[in-house]
Each structure stands twice: as structure tokens, then as C-alpha cells.
Amino acid sequence: MQMIPHSRPTIDYEEVNAAVAVLQSGQLAQGEQVLQFEKALASLIGVGGAVAVSSGTAALHLSLLALEISEGDEVVIPSFVCPALLNAIRYVRAVPVLADINRETFNIAVRDLKRRVTRKTKAVIVPHMFGLPADIRNIIALGIPVIEDCAQALGSRYEGVPTGSFGVLSVFSFYATKVICTGEGGMIAANDLQLLEKIRDLRDYDEKDDGRLRYNYKLTGLQAALGLAQLRKLPVLIGRRRAIAGQYDKFLREYHLSMPVCPPDREHIYYRYVIRTKHVAELLAAGRDAGIAYRRPVFKPLHHYLGMTGYPQTEAAFLETVSLPIYPSLSDTEVKTILHPVRSILK
Ligand SMILES: Cc1ncc(COP(=O)(O)O)c(C=O)c1O
């Protein structure tokens, strides 16, 4: 049986040619391709600059270091997100403070976030979950330094403005399943060029005058060439995601099932198509039988790892959501196949 995976990168001859050109150039490590990739992303987001790194996690780690967040400082993050955020906070020995999410958007709930802020709060990391921008304007208004996490949201917009241009820093991931991919990879973008310079310095350990702790978080030329090829196609990649989301919406509407919400001031890129249902286990099992990889959109909420309670909306989202495969290389036939078990379980 031909499986429909939950994610699949869209790699075409452009990426293959770009990779071959780098191999033939002999410049495999960080070089011109990386600089070009950084410029292209900064220009797309509309910020002063960007620094490419080896992963989204590295981007988060260097962002926290650049903001001089250290032992005892508190950093707020939502509970409904992958552990990369928690890990980055732990790398700098800061204290993760979890906030609950908004029921409709699955993004960090501004009211709950506000409640969690103390004198020790040094930053909030705001992931735009599943490709839908968080309520970033109201979060910025709280006056806490914001790190936007655009790992799932490259190309999305809030009030017509690209996400990634609101925070003091913003991070991106180019992991194999992301909106654009380089296998592994990440980026930090910002308007503050001094902060970016600090990050650039920490990314690489060689040929430095002092003995400060530094990292090897560099992106390779090969990865950057892939990233550039992918970035050029971003409108097409997002266009296909939206077209598939449109087909899913139409189907759910026909069966009077609830669709993912997108407030009118935001532009969703449908990195994930997350539906809410009381029949999660049945749907996951039906998918397994039919060779379709439905998934829980978040493997485990962070408050479970930390043994905490008090996150009712995160808990509900964990128990009641399923993510349907959605990526540009899905054919229309595959889209229909994906909906078969949904029809039989949810109608
Ligand atoms: C919201 C978010 N932030 C950060 C990351 C970490 O990115 P990476 O896997 O490139 O380290 C991910 C990856 O899944 C993510 O979804």
C-alpha cells in the first residue's frame, strides 16, 4: 500500500541543480550562498538583516544569548508547542514559564500570557502556530521583548505585514518538513543590526581574539543553495497549501464540521491543517488502516513534560485535535484519499 506521509519536502530540479552547482564550486561551508540566503530572507520579511544558523533550535538559543537572558530569568512560551523552545530556554539556564493558548487559533493566549508576567520576565517567545499568525500586535503592546518564532509560519502576514518583522528578533526553521527546507537549518532576522552582529559572532568559534564561549551553529553552502531555490518558489508553495486548505474547508463545511479559524486580519499559510474532533483515536487508527499519516499536531504539550496543570485550552487541544497531511506535493487524488476516513469517522 502506498502511504501518504504526514509531511514531504517539495524538491525539484531547481534544488538539484543548485546543490550540484555548489558541489562543483568547492565552497561547501558557509560562504557566498549563505550570505545570499540571509539577504533574501531579510528582504522577504522586510527587516534590516538576518543570520543563518544550523537549526531553528540554534536560532532560539542564540536569540536568548543575544538578549543576555541567563540563569533565573523567566521566558514565557505557550505549552502547546514542540520542546525546542523549552530546550533553548534550558540551554541558558533560564526558567520556562508556560502560558495557555487561545481555543480558536491555538496560539498563545494574550490574557493568560499577561497573567504569567513577573518582574523576572525577560522575554516571550511567540510561535505562530501551524502557519496562523498569533495576536502579535497585542503581545508587543505588553512591553516585553518578543522573539517571534516563525518556524511554522514563513510567508504569513498579520494586518498585511509579514510575521517575523514585529519582534525584537524572529527565528525560522528549515527542517526537512518545514515550509521551505534545507534538511536542517534556521535563521534569525531582526532590524537591530547590533543584535544580529552579536549572533553572527556567537555562531562561529574560529579566528576570534578572545576566549568567550562560542558555538558551531553555521549553515553550509549546500543548505543555503537549497534554501535559496526553495525561497524563490515560496509563493507557489504557499499557493498550493492554500488551495488544499480550500478543498478541506469545503469538505468540512459540507458536513457541518468546524474548520480551522483564520481571523480576518491574518493570512494563514496552512503549514498544518488542524481539525478539532472528539474522535481523535478513531481517526488516527482509520488513517493507519488506510495508509494515511494523520498526526496529533503537537506530540505532547510542554506542561506534561514539566508535570504541571492549569492549561485547560492546551489540554483540550491536545486531546481533541488531528493534523491532516497538507503540503504542496500532494496530488488532488491524494487530497481526496485523505478525506475518505475523515468522512466516515466524523460525519
Ligand atoms: C514552532 C517551532 N519552533 C522551533 C522549532 C525548532 O526547529 P528545528 O527543528 O529546526 O530545531 C520547531 C521545529 O519543529 C517548531 O515547530
Question: Which residue, of 210, 232, 254, is where some domain finishes?
Answer: 232
Q: Return the best residue to mutate from 60, 63, 82 for the ligand 1 pocket (most ligand atoms within 8 A of CB).
A: 82
Query: Is 145 part of any domain?
Result: yes
Looking at residue 160, what is its pLDDT? Answer: 98
Task: Indicate yes or no: pTM above 0.75.
Answer: yes
- In this structure, are residues 260 and 268 in contact, taking their beta carbons and an 8 Å threshold? yes
Looking at residue 281, what is its pLDDT? Answer: 96
Looking at residue 346, what is its pLDDT? Answer: 82
What residues are annotated to the active site? 178
Looking at residue 1, what is its pLDDT? Answer: 67
Looking at residue 132, what is its pLDDT? Answer: 98
Looking at residue 42, what is its pLDDT? Answer: 98
Tens digits of residue pLDDT in 128-158 = 999 999 999 999 999 999 999 999 999 999 9
Query: Is 2 part of any domain?
Result: no
- Same domain? For 260 and 153 the reply is no
- Same domain? For 219 and 238 the reply is no
Query: Is 7 part of any domain?
Result: no
CATH number for the domain that contains residue 61? 3.40.640.10
Rounded to the nearest angstrom, the distance between the alpha carbon of 151 and the centre of ligand 1 is 6
- 84 within ligand 1 shell (Cβ under 6 A): yes
- 182 within ligand 1 shell (Cβ under 6 A): no
- Same domain? For 59 and 193 the reply is yes
Rounded to the nearest angstrom, the distance between the alpha carbon of 55 and the centre of ligand 1 is 8
Contacts of residues 16-23 at CB distance under 8 Å and 24 or more positions apart, as own/partner, are 17/229, 18/225, 18/226, 18/228, 18/229, 19/222, 19/225, 19/226, 21/225, 22/221, 22/222, 22/225, 23/222
Looking at residue 256, what is its pLDDT? Answer: 82
Number of domains in the chain: 2
How large a percentage of the chain has pLDDT more than 70? 100
- Same domain? For 147 and 283 the reply is no
For the CA of 57, the nearest atom of ligand 1: 11
Question: Which residue, of 199, 215, 232, is where some domain finishes?
Answer: 232
Which residue puts its alpha carbon closest to atom 14 of ligand 1?
82
Q: Based on the number of CB atoms within 10 Å of its own CB, is 259 exposed (0-12), middle (13-18) or buried (19 or more)?
A: middle
Q: Based on the number of CB atoms within 10 Å of its own CB, is 130 exposed (0-12), middle (13-18) or buried (19 or more)?
A: buried
Report residues of the chain scoring pLDDT below 50: none
The alpha carbon torsion through 80, 177, 171, 36 (nearest 10 deg) reads: -170
Query: Is 322 part of any domain?
Result: yes
Query: Is 318 part of any domain?
Result: yes
Question: Which residue, of 165, 197, 232, is where some domain finishes?
Answer: 232
Dist CA 234 CA 154 (whole Å)? 9
Looking at residue 257, what is its pLDDT? Answer: 84
CATH number for the domain that contains residue 328? 3.90.1150.10
- Same domain? For 84 and 215 the reply is yes
- Can you give the residue range of the structural domain that contains 136? 13-232
Q: Give the other-Cβ count within 10 Å of 240's Cβ.
A: 18
- Same domain? For 171 and 248 the reply is no
Looking at residue 322, what is its pLDDT? Answer: 97
Which residue puts its alpha carbon closest to atom 12 of ligand 1?
151
Query: Is 86 part of any domain?
Result: yes
- Same domain? For 207 and 317 the reply is no
- 148 within ligand 1 shell (Cβ under 6 A): no
- Same domain? For 275 and 132 the reply is no
- Same domain? For 49 and 194 the reply is yes
